[in-house]
Amino acid sequence: MNKNNIKVLVDKYFDGETSLDEERQLKSYFNSDVNIDADLEVFIPFFKEISQQQSIEAPSNLEQRVFAVISKSDDKLDKEIKPTVKVRRLMPMLLKVASVFVIGLSIYFLTQQMNKPSTETMAMTEDTYKTPEEAYAAYKAAISLASRKIKKGEDKMKEKMSHVKILTSIVKSK
């Protein structure tokens, strides 16, 4: 065969456009002991393997074995499907029951929350101190505590500022 003709057939083969006769020609060319071009030697193992694979025959009882496996799997599928059908029938009913339960719980907690007095309301209705004098004394103690804390912070700040003034005067003198 012609080298260019074989190259064209190989290209057609890998594009899936060859006829059975052209495929037979390729197989016979690559399986023969004819001098094959160096460009085409890459395809020799491929076409030899294809020829060997086609010579392998399937066992005579292969079809029966396949059908037996399929029928066994169909039986298993039938057994597995039956319980799921029952669950599918129960599912809408279970969803309805669950939704009623959730709505009931929501209503219960909402009414409990609405009946409970808030802390703001309790604070407005109850007095913290029994007499105005007690309230004034507590106010005075809180204000004096805040004043002492502020005074202490102010004293510390003045002390730090004096250190800063000393350092700045040293830096300016140099």
Give the start-to-end residue ranges of the domains of the chain.
3-55, 64-126, 131-174
CA–CA separation, 115 vs 92, rounded Å?
Answer: 35
Whether the Cβ atoms of residue 47 and residue 30 lie closer than 8 Å to each other? yes
pLDDT-derived band at 156 (thresholds 50, 70, 90) equals: very high
pLDDT at 153: 92
Task: For residues 123 and 121, give the distance between their C-alpha atoms in angstroms, rounded to a whole number.
Answer: 5
What digits encode the pLDDT tens for the residues 102-140? 999 999 999 988 887 766 666 556 667 788 898 899 999
Instruction: Give the Cβ contact number of residue 11 at 10 Å.
Output: 11
Q: Measured over all CA atoms, what is the biggest interatomic distance in the chain, rounded to whole angstroms? A: 124
pLDDT in tens, 28-86: 887 877 777 777 788 888 878 877 776 667 777 888 888 888 877 766 665 655 555 56
Task: Give per-residue pLDDT as tens, 134-143.
Answer: 889 999 999 9
Calculate the dihedral angle through the C-alpha atoms of 8, 14, 15, 17, rounding to the nearest 10 degrees.
Answer: 70
